[in-house]
């Protein structure tokens, strides 16, 4: 048995920025990579990334060793990134804390070797001492090598799919320490090497490798079918060896090492191998198989001028605390290789030790010819893993990843506009698929992070979660024959009467009395003059009826006094049309002023308009929307520094009326100037009429949520210009409403980025979002007694 103590054998003599000077004379440039999220890539994406890698690496200097190292570690989720203040935040924080997942880190090393011949004996002790005087002599060579590597990394980064950034000296030392400590945390340990396994601290290590051309089956490609998500009518893709990446779900490292040799030398070597095998092929069928494989490789190389011959090595190191666990992982990896038609090599004893020690970046030039396969660079790059965990943004709405159901923060507001120019969103889902549940989840988190909400709702879906914040919300519910309590004419002080306010009021009046006409500039100026005159002449109790009476009383000389030509303002017509909204007019109740609820509105952060009873009356709905617009202008519009969201739920029912779409389009135009967003919820995109107004709305909607739709997604794809991979993602949506972890899956597209996310919530959050059914009735019954929604939910969940 041999024993290595890292503190006695330091592999690194010096680190400058991201460059290691190793004790064996090698110089290593170190980078950490950020890869795309797993499941987010299409077949074409995999091809494009393969092409980017080939272009980036093919022209590196002869003798370069490229080592891509993907490290997968079992971790427990720490909820430190999740907010933890409110009742529902605390429930979410506790629910996910400690959940197991695999963390993936991707590293890329470029090694300039002391000897460019790269011909090593079978076993190399990586820890032998070498003269330290080597470093200075390599100065110019290192600079030119570093320049070539920088060009290569820049090319990869310009592909826009991946980003590789230089490692800092601290990160390099941390990685080295973790590697030689066998990823045991909290203590330094020895490496024990014996016949059965390599033991580092508490962990037993083993390895499987691809070390010869003969390991490969018929073909490799940049991607393959993902059987888990593929169905009869669509194909979902994954990287060729993704099954050895995140989805393996074990502690392991995938090392992919490329030796960029002299092309001609290895072509000659293959020729020589073929010559020898031709002589001996009569002596057994195995020789014929080998001859066929090598001849095939050579034919491919000769047929492709852009080919770049390399020698390569791939190994998977893995570890466990128990030896029997190690056997289980071995068979799991072998099964995965079998599916790829690859027969791995299983190193034992000295060989195993050699593979594990020399898979550290400073020593990855130590492999001998017996450990390397000869092939074309394009072939070898199919064995690169090109995706990683779901990525969390620094802040955002909590969803869950598709791999482990751990929380992922997605910044769907995007303050800096990196991904989206407009933060408006749309939710598409048929009845019963959970769109109100999803909307509750998004809006509740926005609200708790300080965003002001105005919800225009026809279904009563939001009052329950609002009741968790008793001081901060108001529900304005339309009831037949009763006013909403919004007085557009109300001002608390004469200073409120800024030009913008007069502009808003004049627009409001024109919408009421001249909704079918195109308003001229002259008419607009006239109404603003009359409004100003009204406020100057009337000191209090401003309201629509008061304004009407003021015009009626002064109709004889009003236009003369204000120097308005009768063509620009028809007093008779105005009084006739507006009589419907005052006195004993049919709709006068809408504008009755008992107590102006604007007082309540302006200091509330969550305002819900429930228009359930109004949805079939075109005239009332039209007026209500105008009143709501006036309320929005005095809340969300008022303070540009404050974030605000306007949500139209059950939007399709509102769209039956002509003027609603135009009214909503106005919000889309106006919201650009504000720090705000608009959300619409539809059962199907077909509910939006196919016209220019809808096209403008969809164009300004850059965050898309779609839940499962059994009728398909054809129209959604067509009208939102979704890609074929977006469609594959949509078709792969599967919900799970049984078992310990219930979740809904949804498609989320933010700008150009899309993926499938899950929504799993703790029972307290589930209870807060319920909108109907027996469970909801039970919670509301407790609430009626306690008048405290938090207590009601706690009592309900403690019984369930």
Which stretches of 554-657 are DSSP H helices? 558-561, 571-578, 598-602, 618-634, 651-654
Contact 23, 361 (CB under 8 A): no
Q: Any idea which of 73-82, 133-142, 530-539, 743-752 has the lowest mean pLDDT?
A: 133-142
- Average pLDDT on 74-91 reads 94
Say how far apart CA 301 and CA 572 lie, in whole Å.
Answer: 90
Q: Any idea which of 338-352, 412-426, 525-539 has the lowest mean pLDDT?
A: 412-426
Nearest CA to 727 among 42, 36, 38? 42
* Four-CA torsion 335, 338, 343, 347, nearest 10 degrees: -10
Q: What is the pLDDT of residues 669-707, one digit of tens each?
A: 777 777 889 999 999 998 888 888 888 889 889 999 999
- Residue listed under structure tokens 């290593």: 28
- The residue that leads in pLDDT, 547 or 626, is 547
DSSP assignment of 704-762: EEE---TT-SHHHHHHHT--HHHHHHHHT---B-SSSS-BEEEEEEETTEEEEEEE---
State whether 507 and 366 are in the same domain.
Answer: no
Contact 399, 765 (CB under 8 A): no
- Average pLDDT on 473-497 reads 78
Q: Residue 218: CB partners within 8 Å, gap ≥ 6? A: 341
Q: What is the pLDDT of residues 663-675, one digit of tens each?
A: 788 788 777 777 8
Examine residue 130 and state whether it is found in any structural domain, yes or no. yes
State whether 511 and 366 are in the same domain.
Answer: no
Geometric angle at alpha carbon 417, from 385 and 93, rounded to 5° = 65
Nearest CA to 597 among 588, 589, 587, 607? 607
State whether 255 and 129 are in the same domain.
Answer: yes
Q: Any idea which of 461-470, 560-569, 603-612, 757-766 has the lowest mean pLDDT?
A: 603-612
- Residue listed under structure tokens 């959970």: 434
DSSP assignment of 383-407: T----BSPPPPSS-EEEE-TTT--E
Query: If DSSP codes are grouped into helix, strand and coil, which group holds residue 164?
Result: strand
Q: Of 347, 382, 417, which one is at a domain's C-terminal end?
A: 382
State whether 187 and 306 are in the same domain.
Answer: yes
State whether 224 and 108 are in the same domain.
Answer: yes
Taking 80 as the threshold, does the pLDDT of residue 459 lie above it?
no
Q: Residue 401: CB partners within 8 Å, gap ≥ 6? A: 389, 390, 408, 757, 758
Residue 511 is predicted with a pLDDT of: 77
- Residue listed under structure tokens 């309201």: 543
Provide the angle, in degrees to the nearest 10, between the axes of the packed helices 499-513 and 618-634. Answer: 180
Task: Identify the band that residue 219 occupies on the pLDDT scale cut at 50, 70 and 90.
Answer: confident
Examine residue 500 and state whether it is found in any structural domain, yes or no. yes
Q: Residue 180: CB partners within 8 Å, gap ≥ 6? A: 4, 6, 191, 200, 360
Taking 80 as the threshold, does the pLDDT of residue 660 lie above it?
no
Nearest CA to 54 among 42, 43, 63, 66? 66
Q: What is the pLDDT of residues 223-248, one digit of tens each?
A: 778 788 877 777 888 889 999 999 99
Residues paired with 253 in a beta bridge: 71, 317
- Residue listed under structure tokens 């029912």: 653
**CB contact burial 747-758 (16+ within 10 A = b; e otherwise):** bbbbeeebbbbb
Sign for the CA dihedral angle at 789, 793, 794, 796 comes to positive
Taking 90 as the threshold, does the pLDDT of residue 446 lie above it?
yes
- The residue that leads in pLDDT, 435 or 124, is 435
Geometric angle at alpha carbon 124, from 122 and 127, rounded to 5° = 170
State whether 378 and 496 are in the same domain.
Answer: no
Q: Of 382, 408, 443, which one is at a domain's C-terminal end?
A: 382
Tokens of 666: 């106005």
Examine residue 400 and state whether it is found in any structural domain, yes or no. no
State whether 115 and 240 are in the same domain.
Answer: yes
Examine residue 613 and state whether it is found in any structural domain, yes or no. no
Taking 50 as the threshold, does the pLDDT of residue 1 lie above it?
no
Tokens of 280: 């001996």
Q: Of 332, 352, 382, which one is at a domain's C-terminal end?
A: 382
Nearest CA to 615 among 456, 455, 458, 431? 458
- Average pLDDT on 765-786 reads 91
Say how far apart CA 40 and CA 38 lie, in whole Å.
Answer: 6
Q: Do the bridges between strand 27-34 and strand 163-166 make them parallel or antiparallel, or are there none, so unpaired? A: antiparallel
Return the percent helix, strand and coil in the chain, to nearest 5: 40, 20, 40
Tokens of 598: 């604007």
What's the gap between Cα 737 and its chain centre? 23
Taking 60 as the threshold, does the pLDDT of residue 534 lie above it?
yes
Taking 80 as the threshold, does the pLDDT of residue 300 lie above it?
no
Contact 269, 277 (CB under 8 A): no
Contact 777, 790 (CB under 8 A): no
Examine residue 744 and state whether it is found in any structural domain, yes or no. no
Task: Identify the band that residue 209 occupies on the pLDDT scale cut at 50, 70 and 90.
Answer: very high
Say how far apart CA 633 and CA 447 lie, in whole Å.
Answer: 19
State whether 200 and 78 are in the same domain.
Answer: yes
Residue 476 is predicted with a pLDDT of: 80
Nearest CA to 308 among 374, 223, 238, 402? 374
Distances (CA, A) of 231 to 38, 248, 712: 19, 22, 14
State whether 356 and 496 are in the same domain.
Answer: no
Residue 282 is predicted with a pLDDT of: 55
State whether 53 and 202 are in the same domain.
Answer: yes
Query: If DSSP codes are grouped into helix, strand and coil, which group holds residue 323?
Result: helix
Taking 50 as the threshold, does the pLDDT of residue 136 lie above it?
no
- Which residue spans within 343-489 are E strands per DSSP? 373-376, 397-400, 407-410, 424-428, 452-457, 473-477
Residue 123 is predicted with a pLDDT of: 59
Percent of the chain past pLDDT 90, that is, above it, reads 47
Nearest CA to 645 among 452, 408, 798, 369? 452
- Average pLDDT on 29-48 reads 94
Examine residue 208 and state whether it is found in any structural domain, yes or no. yes
Q: Any idea which of 216-220, 273-277, 286-290, 412-416 has the lowest mean pLDDT?
A: 286-290
- Residue listed under structure tokens 């627009």: 507
Examine residue 763 and state whether it is found in any structural domain, yes or no. no
Q: Any idea which of 44-53, 512-521, 607-616, 727-736 has the lowest mean pLDDT?
A: 512-521
Tokens of 513: 């009395």
Taking 70 as the threshold, does the pLDDT of residue 166 lie above it?
yes
Contact 30, 172 (CB under 8 A): yes
Residue 586 is part of which domain span? 487-596
* Structural domains of the chain, count: 3
Which stretches of 515-617 are DSSP H helices? 521-537, 544-553, 558-561, 571-578, 598-602
Contact 597, 486 (CB under 8 A): yes
Task: Identify the band that residue 133 occupies on the pLDDT scale cut at 50, 70 and 90.
Answer: very low
Contact 5, 190 (CB under 8 A): yes
Taking 70 as the threshold, does the pLDDT of residue 457 lie above it?
yes
State whether 350 and 497 are in the same domain.
Answer: no
Percent of the chain past pLDDT 70, that is, above it, reads 88
Residues paired with 101 in a beta bridge: 75
Beta-carbon neighbour count of residue 440 at 10 Å? 22
Query: If DSSP codes are grouped into helix, strand and coil, which group holds residue 3?
Result: strand
Residue 127 is predicted with a pLDDT of: 64
Task: Provide the mean pLDDT of the chain.
Answer: 85
């Amino acid at each position: 048995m041999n024993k290595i103590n890292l503190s006695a054998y330091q592999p690194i003599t010096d680190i400058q920025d991201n460059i290691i000077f190793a004790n064996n004379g090698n110089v290593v440039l170190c980078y950490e990579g950020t890869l795309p999220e797993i499941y987010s890539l299409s077949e074409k994406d995999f091809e494009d990334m393969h092409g980017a890698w080939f272009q980036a690496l093919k022209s590196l200097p002869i003798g370069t060793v490229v080592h891509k190292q993907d490290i997968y570690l079992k971790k427990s989720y720490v909820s430190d990134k999740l907010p933890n203040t409110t009742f529902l935040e605390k429930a979410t924080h506790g629910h996910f804390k400690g959940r197991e997942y695999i963390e993936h880190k991707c590293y890329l090393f470029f090694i300039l070797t002391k000897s460019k011949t790269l011909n090593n004996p079978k076993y190399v002790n990586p820890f032998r001492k070498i003269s330290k005087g080597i470093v200075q002599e390599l100065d110019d060579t290192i600079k030119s090598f570093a320049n070539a590597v920088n060009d290569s990394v820049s090319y990869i980064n310009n592909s826009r799919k991946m980003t590789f950034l230089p490692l800092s000296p601290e990160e390099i030392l941390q990685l080295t320490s973790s590697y030689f400590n066998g990823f045991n945390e909290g203590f330094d340990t020895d490496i024990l090497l014996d016949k059965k396994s390599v033991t580092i601290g508490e962990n037993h290590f083993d390895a499987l490798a691809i070390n010869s051309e003969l390991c490969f089956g018929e073909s490799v490609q940049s991607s393959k079918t993902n059987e888990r998500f593929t169905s009869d009518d669509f194909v979902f893709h994954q990287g060729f060896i993704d099954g050895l990446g995140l989805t393996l779900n074990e502690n392991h490292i995938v090392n992919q090492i490329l030796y960029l040799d002299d092309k001609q030398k290895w072509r000659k070597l293959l020729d020589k191998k073929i010559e020898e095998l031709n002589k001996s092929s009569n002596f057994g069928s195995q020789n014929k198989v080998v001859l066929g494989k090598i001849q095939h490789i050579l034919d491919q190389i000769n047929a492709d001028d852009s080919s770049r011959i390399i020698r390569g090595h791939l190994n998977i190191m893995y570890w466990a605390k128990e030896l029997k666990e190690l056997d289980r992982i071995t068979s799991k990896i072998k099964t995965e290789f079998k599916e790829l038609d690859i027969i791995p090599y299983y190193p034992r004893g000295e060989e195993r030790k050699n593979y594990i020690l020399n898979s550290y970046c400073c020593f990855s030039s130590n492999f001998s010819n017996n450990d390397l396969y000869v092939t074309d660079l394009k072939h070898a790059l199919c064995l690169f893993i090109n995706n990683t965990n779901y990525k969390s943004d620094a802040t955002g709405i909590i969803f869950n990843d598709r791999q482990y159901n751990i929380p992922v923060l997605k910044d769907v507001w995007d303050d800096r506009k990196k991904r989206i120019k407009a933060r408006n969103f749309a939710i598409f889902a048929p009845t019963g698929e959970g769109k109100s549940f999803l909307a509750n989840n998004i809006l509740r988190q926005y609200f708790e992070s300080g965003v002001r909400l105005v919800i225009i709702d026809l279904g009563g879906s939001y009052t329950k979660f609002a009741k968790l914040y008793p001081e901060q919300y108001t529900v304005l519910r339309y009831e037949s024959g009763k006013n909403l309590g919004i007085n557009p004419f109300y001002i608390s002080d004469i200073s409120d009467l800024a030009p913008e306010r007069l502009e808003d009021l004049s627009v409001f009046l024109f919408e009421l009395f001249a909704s079918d006409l195109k308003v001229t500039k002259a008419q607009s100026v006239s109404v603003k003059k009359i409004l100003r005159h009204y406020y100057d002449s009337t000191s209090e109790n401003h309201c629509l009826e008061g304004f009407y009476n003021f015009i009626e009383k002064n109709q004889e000389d009003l236009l003369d006094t204000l120097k308005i030509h009768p063509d620009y303002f028809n007093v008779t017509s105005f009084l006739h049309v507006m009589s419907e909204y005052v006195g004993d007019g049919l709709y006068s109740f809408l504008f009755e002023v008992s107590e102006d609820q604007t007082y309540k509105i302006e200091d509330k952060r969550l305002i819900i308009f429930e228009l359930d009873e109004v949805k079939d009356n075109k005239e009332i709905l039209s007026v209500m929307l105008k009143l709501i617009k006036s309320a929005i202008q005095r809340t969300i519009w008022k303070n540009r520094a404050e974030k605000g969201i306007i949500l139209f739920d059950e939007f399709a029912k509102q769209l039956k009326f002509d003027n609603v779409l135009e009214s909503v389009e106005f919000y889309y135009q106006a919201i650009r100037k504000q720090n705000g967003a608009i959300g619409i919820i539809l059962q199907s995109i077909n509910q939006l009429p196919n016209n220019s107004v809808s096209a403008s709305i969809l164009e300004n909607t850059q965050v898309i949520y779609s839940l499962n739709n059994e009728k398909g997604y054809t129209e959604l794809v067509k009208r939102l210009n979704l890609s074929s991979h977006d469609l594959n993602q949509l078709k792969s949506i599967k919900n799970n409403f049984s078992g310990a972890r219930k979740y809904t899956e949804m498609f989320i597209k933010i700008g150009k980025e899309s993926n499938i996310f899950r929504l799993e919530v703790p029972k307290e959050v589930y209870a807060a979002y319920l909108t109907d059914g027996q469970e909801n009735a039970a919670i509301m019954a407790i609430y009626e007694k306690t008048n405290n929604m938090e207590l009601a939910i706690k009592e309900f969940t403690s019984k369930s």
